[in-house]
């Protein structure tokens, strides 16, 4: 078995142990009951209504655009773990990356 396969299996085993070891007894139920319209974080006015009026999303070169030619950009964050910033060894350019 190659080194990369062994490393992958080892990392997968650690991930399973880490996920199964999380303690959820102190978690609370998230049931938002407030409407966020007309407050500091409301961005509903940024949306172009009705949804789909410009057609399907497509790639135009390196950019996104709708079928009718309207350009569009997306922004956001995705931090979905307890370690959002990985060590450089395990990033796409590190020696242990999956290239």
pLDDT at 78: 65
Short-list 85, 66, 89, 64, CA closest to 75: 64
Instruction: Supply the mean pLDDT for the chain.
Output: 75
pLDDT at 80: 64
pLDDT at 6: 82
Give the burial class of 8: count Cβ atoms within 10 A of its Cβ; 0-12 exposed, 13-18 middle, 19 or more buried.
middle
pLDDT at 50: 84
pLDDT at 42: 75
Digitized pLDDT (tens) for each residue of the chain, 99 residues in all: 788 888 888 887 777 666 555 667 777 777 766 666 777 777 777 777 888 899 999 999 999 999 999 999 887 766 666 666 666 665 666 565 555
Which DSSP category does 16 fall into?
H
d(CA 27, CA 21): 14
């Amino acid at each position: 078995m190659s080194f990369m396969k062994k490393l992958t299996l080892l990392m997968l085993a650690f991930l399973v142990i880490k996920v199964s070891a999380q303690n959820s007894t102190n978690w609370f139920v998230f049931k938002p009951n407030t409407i966020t319209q007309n407050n500091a974080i409301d961005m509903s006015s940024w949306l172009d209504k009705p949804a789909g009026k410009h057609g399907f999303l497509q790639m135009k070169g390196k950019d996104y655009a709708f079928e009718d030619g309207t350009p569009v950009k997306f922004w956001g964050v995705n931090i979905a773990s307890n370690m959002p910033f990985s060590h450089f060894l395990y990033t796409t350019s590190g020696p242990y990356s999956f290239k």
